[in-house]
Amino acid sequence: MHDERRRIEERVERLHTQRIKPAIYAATVPFEVEAWQAPGEPVPFAEAAAAPYEPFTMDTPWGPPWGTTWFRMRGEVPTGFAGRRVEAVIDLGFVGDWPGNQAEALVHRLDGTPLKAVNPLNQYVPIANPATGGEPVEYLVEAASNPDILANDFAAPTPLGDVLTAGDKPLYTFKRADIAVLDEEVWHLDLDLQVLRGLMVHLGEHEPRRHEIMHTLDRAMDALDLDDIAGSAAAVRAVLAPALARPAHASAHVISGVGHAHIDSAWLWPIRETKRKTSRTFSNVTSLADEYDDFIFACSQAQQYEWVRDNYPHVWARIQESVKKGQWAPVGGMWVEADGNLPGGEAIARQLIHGKRFFIEHFGVETKGVWLPDSFGYTAAYPQLAKLAGNEWFLTQKISWNQTNKFPHHTFWWEGIDGTRIFTHFPPVDTYNARFSGEEMDRAVRNYSEKGAGTRSLAPFGWGDGGGGPTREIMERARRLADLEGSPKVVVEHPDEFFAKAREEYPDAPVWVGELYLELHRATYTSQARTKQGNRRSEHRLREAELWATTAALHAPGYAYPYEKLDRLWKTVLLHQFHDILPGSSIAWVHREAEAEYARVAEELEALTTEAVVALGGGSARVFNTSPYPRAEVVRTTEGAPVYVEVPASGSASLSDAAPARPVTVTGRVLDNGLVRVDVAEDGTLSSVYDLRADREVLAEPGNLLRLHTDLPNYWDAWDIDKHYRNRYTDLLDAESVTVVEDGPLVGAIRVERAFGKGSRIAQTITVRAGSARIDIETEIDWHEAEKILKAGFPVDIRAPHSSAEIQFGHIQRPTHTNTSWEAARFEVSGHRWLHIGEPGYGVAVINDSTYGHDVSRTVREDGGTTTRVSLSLVRAPRVPDPEADQGRHRFTYSLLPGAAIADAVAEGYALNLPLRVADAAGAPEPVVSVDGEGVTVEAVKLADDRSGDVVVRLYESRGGRATGTVRTGFPLAGAEVTDLLERPLEDAEITAEGAVAVALRPFQVLTLRLRRGEATGAR
């Protein structure tokens, strides 16, 4: 047989694209359209309905960036359309085919009921199958003119990312608003061809099935009457039917499809636009559920449900009905799909608590899995926290983006730092926006790593990132692929069903231990430093407010615990941990608003904490310690005078009870407190840090070396830092001034000021305090660089085989060598409050109050010693998607702690992030809880969410070893239970004869205790 592949494939492509697709809508009549441009921000439907509208014609530009235009559309179904499938078809002037960041609209009835959204791939609104024709049709359409921030593949900065800089030039040209007849036979023919063509081109050229499909398509085109596409469509489909009826092989891979609409809670649009995106997407999804009984949609992010509940009650009611019918599956059990590395441990716990409770309360559904496809790496703390929240499975996708190494598994057990394992799946289709194309089906099978052991994988299908969701075309492709030779089998089902089947067939799946590190998007540990600082401060302020509110509730008669305020503030912080807000990868508008929100959160939490402390009674000045560790350190009075005090863990002490401390001496540029001696060089670096206790020099080279690197990644500016950044840099060694600003006896400090780059300035105050080996470097930056990253390096004279970085409820070890490509790819890593390096007998910690990005490298010197360099990534200057990212002023502190064990790093990490508070209080109430036992660390103290008055304490083992201890209470204890994260009982806790709670923890175990009080204390 002659090879006619090219002729046939080109013939089919042309006829399909140029003749069949245009014939899908058989007849059309235009709407009469009027328009009203809403001033400023979006307005409620009632205001839009009462607005004055003006005539509007097609092919007219409309829509300034971030604007809202309301269109009134009036029409009448022609009598000739009677008995046929009639739809409104609207094209706002769509750009490309991504439904996300561009023109989008929600279509309403005149009574305000949302019907359905329109976007580039979902342009229709069902009208009906009219019986006679002549029926009037009238809509009000809320159209958003969001700019296409992704234009030109992020090649250049754009001012469109903020309403303040975007201008007012119209972005779109309205193309079409018609009443149209959908020719269902032609529409189905289009879908038949999509599936068969997609299957054909991805089958191997040696496959008989490919050639059978090709010749079938050729014969089908012979049956197509070019002068009567609609009249011949049935005949063409009849030729194709046998090819579509051939069943799949018995051993065909099974793909469990579940509808999905990834909606970033903010990204290339602000939060206010996400609220509207949810209404559009969810309207489309519930409409699709009415058309397809076999449709199932999985949706995460309780925050988005709450927005719909509060702003779109009609859509909310339709969601509730779909959940009851089993067509809508709440998943994920988190408040938002948060970043997987940067939120603190308690914050991830609260993500799970608030998310799962929302779904239980509003739908009677307890989600079984963590649904987190698009975060930029995943902390090794997740397996334990997920299980403690009652989850059975974990889903991720983003690891498919790895820059260097291909992740070896798709179905596996993920083991966390404490040993907890959770069944995990990573869809081989390599997308969470699947469309059941031939290319995707082929990739899923070829890519699947578990062949020979597992037979199934998951495919979330539907347009996403900016929403959109599944379409009827995707559902039709799924139906055709249910049992088709040459293709994997597709079944639409609930993700819980998929995970149950996958685990049953593959219970001994391989185990991956530790973090799921994404070999890409490493700059998200640093970009938008003020957003990250706002999150860190908020997490610690929430801890502080809860602790002292609980103390006041127990000891201050009449004080009412602020349940509602704390709940609202937690949810605000949780929202901003979304995986494109906290990582710093959103447009300017998002980060401008985030910084303002964090300022409001700080103000409210300061007021709540002050209220709680004041409720304990006025009197003498006291020092309050929110840290779970006792502290002896210098604190300043309200007048600014330094005082050295000792304060118990989670307790207070009188400011007048000053403790003795060896003074700090300042000689020239040398600071000495008897524990460490710090020599500041003329250039402002640390020429020496000498540990007087260990009698050894800490540094191998000058420390606190500020290094300005060129930082232009290959793509994704705000997201990525590529290894070549290391190759070009300038060391900042020209100090304008090095000045002693405090010379003892309790504090010694030297201020170093520099100017550099394009008008940037940095001032650092290097501080040594009495009684502490911690050397603080308080940093103020006025930053005006572009495409640069500033790092602070500490080359330490330690041969460290690994570094240990704090993560949620523990720490993780990473090799300092680069023996393998996996280790080499970790050239930038995340850490929380501290990073530690050590050799037997000696260690050093680098501590911070708001920095997450680090790198650790090692070199062997000519003298045979090893230099291990720890560098902190302080601030970046990407220009896309926010051209002004990180510009302006920053203020933060990082510290060097010589002679530190892991336990010291833990304690000082808390101390730096939870400054001692000075306030007036009459008495010295007992700490709510106190703990003895090395390694047992209290992370949260609060009243139970059910308002029973019980006290909830969350603690964990922080050093990486087994720990036993005793939890004592500052109130009469009547009973104690171990609970899950949602404060539901798991087992009774052991109460000792002294009325305390005995605990025994495995390494990094998290334990939640619910403590029942023995008598009323006036608390509410």
The model's pLDDT over 837-876, given as tens digits with 9 standing for 90+, comes to 999 999 999 999 999 999 999 999 999 999 999 999 999 9
Phi and psi of 783, rounded to 5°?
-105, 125
pLDDT of residue 297: 98
pLDDT digits (tens, 9 = 90+) for 563-572: 999 999 999 9
pLDDT of residue 457: 98
> In this model, does residue 522 exceed pLDDT 70?
yes
pLDDT digits (tens, 9 = 90+) for 122-143: 999 999 777 777 889 999 999 9
Distance, in Å, from the CA atom of 189 to the CA atom of 187, rounded to the nearest integer, reads 5
> In this model, does residue 1019 exceed pLDDT 50?
no
Q: What is the CA radius of gyration of the chain?
A: 31
Top-confidence residue, 544 or 639: 544
pLDDT of residue 795: 98
Token representation of residue 173: 């040209």
Distance, in Å, from the CA atom of 787 to the CA atom of 885, rounded to the nearest integer, reads 10
Phi-psi region of 5 (alpha: psi -120 to 50; beta: other; left: phi over 0): alpha
Write out the DSSP string of 835-875: EEEEETTEEEEEEESS--EEEEEEEE-TTS-EEEEEEEEEE
pLDDT digits (tens, 9 = 90+) for 958-1004: 999 999 999 999 999 999 999 999 999 999 998 888 889 999 999 99
> In this model, does residue 1018 exceed pLDDT 70?
no
Question: What mean pLDDT is predicted for residues 884-904?
Answer: 98
Question: What mean pLDDT is predicted for residues 44-73?
Answer: 98
Tell me, what amino acid is at 960?
G
Per-residue pLDDT band at 1020 (split at 50, 70, 90): very low
Question: What mean pLDDT is predicted for residues 530-534?
Answer: 98
Phi and psi of 904, rounded to 5°?
-70, -40
Report the catalytic residues.
374
Question: What mean pLDDT is predicted for residues 14-25?
Answer: 97
Per-residue pLDDT band at 236 (split at 50, 70, 90): very high
Is the separation of the CB atoms in 446 and 251 below 8 Å?
no
Distance, in Å, from the CA atom of 196 to the CA atom of 220, rounded to the nearest integer, reads 12
Tell me the longest C-alpha to C-alpha distance in the chain. 101
Q: Is the dihedral of CA 202, 207, 209, 211 positive or negative?
A: positive
pLDDT of residue 993: 81
Question: What mean pLDDT is predicted for residues 941-967?
Answer: 98
Per-residue pLDDT band at 156 (split at 50, 70, 90): confident
Classify residue 479 as exposed, middle or buried by CB count within 10 Å of its CB (0-12, 13-18, 19+): middle
Question: What mean pLDDT is predicted for residues 155-173?
Answer: 95
Is the separation of the CB atoms in 410 and 427 below 8 Å?
yes
> In this model, does residue 1017 exceed pLDDT 60?
no
Per-residue pLDDT band at 195 (split at 50, 70, 90): very high
pLDDT of residue 472: 98
Is the separation of the CB atoms in 916 and 650 below 8 Å?
no
pLDDT digits (tens, 9 = 90+) for 405-417: 999 999 999 999 9
β-pair type (254-259, 489-492):
parallel
The upper half-sphere exposure of residue 747, i.e. CA atoms within 13 Å in the direction of its Cβ, equals 19
Percentage of residues in the chain with pLDDT exceeding 70? Answer: 99
Percentage of residues in the chain with pLDDT exceeding 90? Answer: 93
E strand segments, 701-734: 705-710, 729-731
The number of beta carbons lying within 10 Å of the beta carbon of residue 164 is: 10
pLDDT of residue 990: 87
How confident is the prediction for the chain on average, in pLDDT? 96
pLDDT of residue 835: 98
Instruction: Cite the DSSP H helix spans in 376-493.
Output: 382-388, 438-447, 472-480
> In this model, does residue 1016 exceed pLDDT 70?
no
CA dist 281 to 285, 337, 805, 941, Å?
Answer: 6, 17, 40, 39
Top-confidence residue, 715 or 638: 715
> In this model, does residue 922 exceed pLDDT 70?
no
Distance, in Å, from the CA atom of 844 to the CA atom of 436, rounded to the nearest integer, reads 53
β-pair type (963-969, 929-932):
antiparallel
Q: What does the DSSP 8-state code read for residue 79?
A: G
E strand segments, 548-683: 621-624, 631-636, 642-647, 652-654, 665-667, 670-672, 676-680
Per-residue pLDDT band at 618 (split at 50, 70, 90): confident
Token representation of residue 311: 């702003």
Q: What does the DSSP 8-state code read for residue 203?
A: S
Distance, in Å, from the CA atom of 547 to the CA atom of 544, rounded to the nearest integer, reads 5
Residue among 735, 765, 730, 728 at smallest CA distance from 747: 765
